[in-house]
């Protein structure tokens, strides 16, 4: 008879580790936004960089911002639905799951993205909730029915010692 090991209790990710993941993701989104601005500059020329360039400059900047928001929605929604982790979450070792511990469905992942704006609205207090609540769920987690847990670390395997070097055979002296 084999015994099944008891299921480990999930460890919720705290405020600071989630904040570190968010910083990494913001850097990625900033680089994407700068890429959109650079592409606009390459397509429409030097006029785009001029703040007094008129309506065209404003339209191009607004389009770059809209494209960045769309990219952010696709980035977070797809990665949360597919594997539960954005690049920032992968680096710090946390994962987004639904309240039952299963993968987050696509609809809940999209709802979670839009709920970020609700969390940010009252002076970022929706994000601060992750540091104040016992279960470490922020406002957007409560809205989307999600939670963020630490990824279980794999036990380290020690490398085996190398085999001893073979001893060369010497012929007997006669």
What is the mean pLDDT of the segment spanning 74-99?
96
pLDDT of residue 40: 80
d(CA 17, CA 157): 26
pLDDT of residue 120: 94
For residues 20 and 157, which has the higher predicted lDDT (pLDDT)? 20
What is the mean pLDDT of the segment spanning 135-150?
96
Beta bridge partners of 94: 150
Concatenated DSSP letters of 18-76: HHHHHHHHHHHHHHHHHHHHHHHHHHH-GGGG-TTS-HHHHHHHHHHHHHHHHHHHHHH
Concatenated DSSP letters of 119-145: HHTTTTHHHHHHHHSTT---HHHHHHT
105, pLDDT greater than 50: yes
4, pLDDT greater than 60: no
């Amino acid at each position: 008879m084999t015994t099944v090991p008891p299921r480990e209790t999930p460890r919720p990710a705290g405020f600071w580790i989630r904040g570190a993941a968010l910083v990494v993701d913001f850097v990625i989104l900033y680089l994407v936004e700068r890429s959109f601005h650079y592409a606009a500059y390459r397509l429409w020329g030097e006029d785009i960089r001029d703040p007094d360039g008129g309506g065209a400059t404003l339209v191009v900047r607004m389009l770059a911002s809209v494209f960045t928001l769309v990219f952010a929605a696709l980035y977070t929604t797809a990665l949360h639905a597919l594997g539960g982790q954005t690049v920032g979450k992968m680096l710090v070792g946390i994962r987004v799951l639904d309240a039952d511990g299963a993968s987050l469905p696509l609809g809940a992942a999209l709802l979670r993205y839009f709920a970020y704006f609700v969390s940010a609205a009252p002076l970022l207090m929706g994000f601060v909730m992750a540091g104040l609540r016992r279960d470490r769920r922020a406002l957007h987690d409560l809205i989307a029915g999600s939670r963020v847990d630490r990824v279980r670390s794999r036990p380290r395997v020690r490398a085996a010692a190398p085999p001893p070097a073979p001893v060369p055979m010497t012929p007997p002296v006669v």
